[in-house]
């Protein structure tokens, strides 16, 4: 139980285009989801907290207009990287806290490459 499905697993896009990443909680309702970015051999860096039905909360230094987060339902949160640049290339992972459980469950991650 407590599975988060993340798509796509890998995407290559051209500079200047936008990319949407989806995370769905399959067997539970996630009122809150978290979006992370991870560079090679580095820790998970929290980008933003996504709240169902309200605006996302962004961490300091994360551009709100560049990383658009939408949490339209209790089971779906999306991250859109707008006007992508090569420096946006990274591994993006979503996570949700398991209600009535402990810890957090993670999606499988999305490897974004901007060329």
Partner 1 sequence: QKEVEQDPGPLSVPEGAIVSLNCTYSNSAFQYFMWYRQYSRKGPELLMYTYSSGNKEDGRFTAQVDKSSKYISLFIRDSQPSDSATYLCAMSESGGSYIPTFGRGTSLIVHP
Residue written as token pair 């551009």 = 63
**DSSP per residue over 32-85, as a string?**
EEEEEEE-TT--EEEEEEEETTS--EEPTT--TTTEEEEEEETTEEEEEE-S--
Nearest to 79 by CA among 19, 25, 9: 19
Q: Which is nearer to partner 1, 32 or 70 (CB)?
A: 32
The nearest distance, CB 20 to partner 1, in angstroms, is 18
The nearest distance, CB 80 to partner 1, in angstroms, is 19
Q: Which is nearer to partner 1, 73 or 104 (CB)?
A: 104
Q: Which is nearer to partner 1, 2 or 82 (CB)?
A: 2
The nearest distance, CB 115 to partner 1, in angstroms, is 18
Tell me if 46 sits within 8 A of 104, measured CB to CB: no
Q: Which is nearer to partner 1, 51 or 70 (CB)?
A: 51
Which positions lie near partner 1, rule CB under 8 A? 4, 6, 32, 34, 41-44, 46, 49, 91, 93, 95, 97, 102-109, 111
Question: How far is residue 36's CA from residue 85's CA, in Å, rounded to a whole number?
Answer: 18
The nearest distance, CB 91 to partner 1, in angstroms, is 7
């Amino acid at each position: 139980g407590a599975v988060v499905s993340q798509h796509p697993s890998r995407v290559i896009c051209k500079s200047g285009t936008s990319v949407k990443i989806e995370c769905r909680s399959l067997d539970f309702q996630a009122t809150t989801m978290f979006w992370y970015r991870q560079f090679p051999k580095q820790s998970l860096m929290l980008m933003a907290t996504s709240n169902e039905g309200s605006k996302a909360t962004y961490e300091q230094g994360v551009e709100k207009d560049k990383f658009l987060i939408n949490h339209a339902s209790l089971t779906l949160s999306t991250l859109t990287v707008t006007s992508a640049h090569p420096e946006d290339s990274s591994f993006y992972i979503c996570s949700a806290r398991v209600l009535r459980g402990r810890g957090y469950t993670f999606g499988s991650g999305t490897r974004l490459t901007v060329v």
